[in-house]
Structures are given as C-alpha cells and as structure tokens.
Amino acid sequence: MSRVIRVRYEKGVLRPLDRVSFRDGEELVVFVRKRRVREVLDKYIGIFGEADAEELEILEEEAQVQ
C-alpha cells in the first residue's frame, strides 16, 4: 500500500498532519520532499485578484531568497 501524507518535522520527529492507520512499531519506507513555494502560490492563485505570470515569478524568486 502506498499513500502520501503531510508531515511536520518537530524536535527530530516527523509528525503526521493527516490521519494514519499504522500500528506502533510498524516499519515504513519514507520519501521526503519539501513543499515548494510554487505549489503554495498555485494553491492561492487568483485569490487576491489578477496577476500575470511575470509578477508571480518575481514573487516566487523573492520567497525563495528568504
């Protein structure tokens, strides 16, 4: 069974943000991928009005610098 879940890294431990049905002590294989800034921008695109692709690219670059 494969499943994608969101996790948060806190104090050395990956904590699930979604409900999981694993047993205590169950061994799993985990693939880790940081959430990309572009994914966040895509989620909220258009919520504050219109913006062209160039404006969004500038915002993405600024966010990655921080």
Residue 38 lies in a domain: yes
* pTM for the predicted model, two decimal places: 0.46
Q: Which range marks the domain in which residue 53 is found?
A: 7-65
Residue 2 lies in a domain: no
Number of structural domains (the chain) is 1
Residue 44 lies in a domain: yes
Q: What is the pLDDT of residues 16-64, one digit of tens each?
A: 998 999 899 999 998 887 777 677 777 777 776 777 777 777 777 777 6
b/e per residue, 51-63, with b = 16+ CB within 10 A? eeeeeeeeeeeee
Residue 43 lies in a domain: yes
CB 32 within 8 A of CB 43: no
Residue 55 lies in a domain: yes
Which neighbouring-strand residues pair with 58?
Answer: none
Whether 15 has a pLDDT exceeding 60, the answer reads yes
